Amino acid sequence: MSELAPEALVRRLAELADSKGATGIVLLDMRGLASYTDFLAICTARNERQARAIVDEVKLRLKQEHGLLPAGVEGEGAAGWIVLDYLAAVLHVFTAAERERYRLEDLWRDAPRTDIEPAQDAVRGHLYGAAHG
């Protein structure tokens, strides 16, 4: 089990969310702007079931790979927003309606931002889902 630097942790959160089909993945560098975390990872799930799957995957893989458990979990999908707090990095998984409602990217618009492009397999999966969904 290895320790993850904050930058590596937020990137891993994004990779795992992407692996479960999350869209609109954005990383915000909160250093100097907020005292509670170094990074925010924000993503969108198609529905509450997918949000739960993203969160379950992140929790499982970070525990298996690095022995990490979230310091806190808020929401359980029914509200359309689940938060996993790993202290140095916080993952926000929204449904589209809730992401538009809370607009965290606008709230923290001064934070340096990185938009994450989906992996090729995820692109193919989204295209398949659109064609067969």
**Tens place of pLDDT for every residue, the chain, 133 residues?**
567 899 999 999 999 999 999 999 999 999 999 999 999 999 999 999 999 999 999 999 999 999 999 999 999 757 899 999 999 999 999 999 999 999 999 999 999 999 988 875 544 444 445 444 4
Domain locations along the chain: 6-128
Shortest CA distance to 119 belongs to which of 43, 29, 17? 17
pTM of this prediction? 0.88
| Per-residue pLDDT at 132 | 43
Taking residue 44's Cβ as centre, other Cβ atoms within 10 Å add up to: 23
C-alpha–C-alpha distance, residues 128 and 74, integer Å? 32
CATH class of 6-128: alpha beta
Burial 55-75 (b: 16+ CB within 10 A, else e): beebbebbeeebebebeeeeb
| Per-residue pLDDT at 78 | 72
| Cβ atoms of residues 78 and 49 within 8 Å | no
Q: For residues 28, 32, 33 and 36, what is the CA-based torsion angle, rounded to 10 degrees?
A: 90
C-alpha–C-alpha distance, residues 29 and 39, integer Å? 5
Shortest CA distance to 93 belongs to which of 55, 122, 123? 55
| Per-residue pLDDT at 118 | 82
